[in-house]
Structure 1
Amino acid sequence: MSRRATPSTRTFTDYLGEATDRRGMYSAVAAHTGARRVVYAVSSLDVTPSYVWPDVTYVDTDQRARVAFADTASAVRLADQHKTYEGEPRIRFLGGEYDRVLGALPVASWDLVISLHAGPVGANAARCLKPGGWLLAAGREPGEGYRLDAAVLLSKGKYRLVTDGLDRAAAGYVFRREA
């Protein structure tokens, strides 16, 4: 597979060069949850979940994301260069408001929903999450039907996941969907 930069690849890498690098967060969450299929609500151009998880569906209304993900092959090439798993990355993009898109996804088909910019998506995410699935959120209020399981802390540029002292401020919170 060619590793040449395409206009879409440059769009992703330009964004990633300016954005917070969350690969450490995603790796900690992956190790904790064992998730394989992921939905990222309001993803913008953050393709780094595909460095950690082999099957990621990105959801956003942003025009830049629509244009960049129109050529998913460029996102796959970028993920393939940085992935931490065996096999080919599977990347899909669904344009639209996350509540509508999550509501239209197949029931109980995903292991993890990422919501770092979307606000409380718990109610919409519950439908597409498998029983016992996970939600990674920036906020502490995921909605009904979730139990706080872990916090992702950021200190000196390193992420770590903790399961005690969950009342502290964190870079992200991991919730388990109650079956």
Structure 2
Amino acid sequence: MKKVDVQELYRESYVDNNFERADLFESLQTRFNIKRALYPGSFAHVTPSFFIPEVTYVDTDPRAKKFFEQKDAVADLISKKKTYDKDTVLHFIASDYSGPLNLKEKSFDLLISQYAGFVSQECKKYLKVDGILLANNSHGDAGMAFIDDDYELIAAIDVKSGKYHITDRELGSYFFPKKQIPVTKEYLRELGKGIGYTKTANSYLFRRIS
């Protein structure tokens, strides 16, 4: 595989389509004082490192591996946009996140689950109790976290005029299935995607409570 252009891949994947979500990660860091984050299924989305001093990225995509291997170029990309004075600490694990990651359990403040399957389940052990899970429901992970007794829904995230907004209002109105079906972990795993709910948000925030 030919060498990956770090700036080009990042721009094409996240900037050109307005999918950086920079204001979301800035809000999360500000609100919850996030210092360490784990991002399974990250691909080349290093935007969290603009705001969070230490992030561990995990992905099996060969392009992601090539991207992160170019450490100087990635560091340069982050240094131009980072908002903290500390040195950036960045780790990349070229692995399937459902397997062992050689990470300390209960050591991360934030677990990021975006379009990557059931991160909330496979990587829960790495999230601190009282740590935050950011999950969307593209592959059903937000729905999975909602029925998991180890998590508590604390906020919903909507997009208005291109900006991400976090709200804790009317949380009891989310996660009511449109169809009268029993929603279990087994059902969601078998389905492999999010089901329809009567009210939805772009993403959700959960706190690990046990």
CA shift for structure 1 position 13: 3.0
Unaligned runs of 5+ in 1: 1-5
* Rg larger for: 2
Matches within 5 A, 1:101-140: 101-102=100-101, 104-139=102-137, 140=142
The number of residue pairs the alignment matches comes to: 173
**Measured at CA, do residues 23 and 55 of structure 1 come closer, stay the same or move farther in structure 2, by a change above 3 Å?**
same
Match of 2:16 among 9, 15, 18: 18
State the secondary structure of the residue aligned to 1:123: helix
Matches within 5 A, 1:1-179: 7-19=5-17, 20-102=19-101, 104-139=102-137, 140-141=142-143, 142=145, 143-166=148-171, 167=174, 168-179=199-210
8 Å CA contact retained: 1:35, 1:112 = yes
Q: Percent identity?
A: 31
Residue by residue over 1:39-69, the C-alpha shift from the partner in whole angstroms, topping out at 9 and shown as x without a partner, is: 1110011110111111011111111100010
Higher relative contact order (CA 8 A, sep 6+): 1
CA shift for structure 1 position 101: 4.5
State the secondary structure of the residue aligned to 2:43: coil
8 Å CA contact retained: 2:20, 2:45 = no
Cα distance between partner residues in 2 of 1:24 and 1:162: 14
8 Å CA contact retained: 1:122, 1:144 = no
Deviates more, 1:81-90 or 1:57-66: 81-90
Q: Give 1:86's aligned amino acid.
A: D
Q: Give 1:29's aligned amino acid.
A: L
Residue by residue over 1:105-142, the C-alpha shift from the partner in whole angstroms, topping out at 9 and shown as x without a partner, is: 21111111101111222222221111211110012322
Normalized per residue, the structure richer in strand is 1
8 Å CA contact retained: 1:40, 1:59 = yes
After TM superposition, where is structure 1 displaced by more than 4 Å over at least 4 residues in a row? Answer: none
Q: Pairwise CA RMSD of aligned residues?
A: 1.7
Unaligned runs of 5+ in 2: 175-198
Q: Give 2:106's aligned amino acid.
A: A
State the secondary structure of the residue aligned to 1:75: helix
**Measured at CA, do residues 75 and 99 of structure 1 come closer, stay the same or move farther in structure 2, by a change above 3 Å?**
same
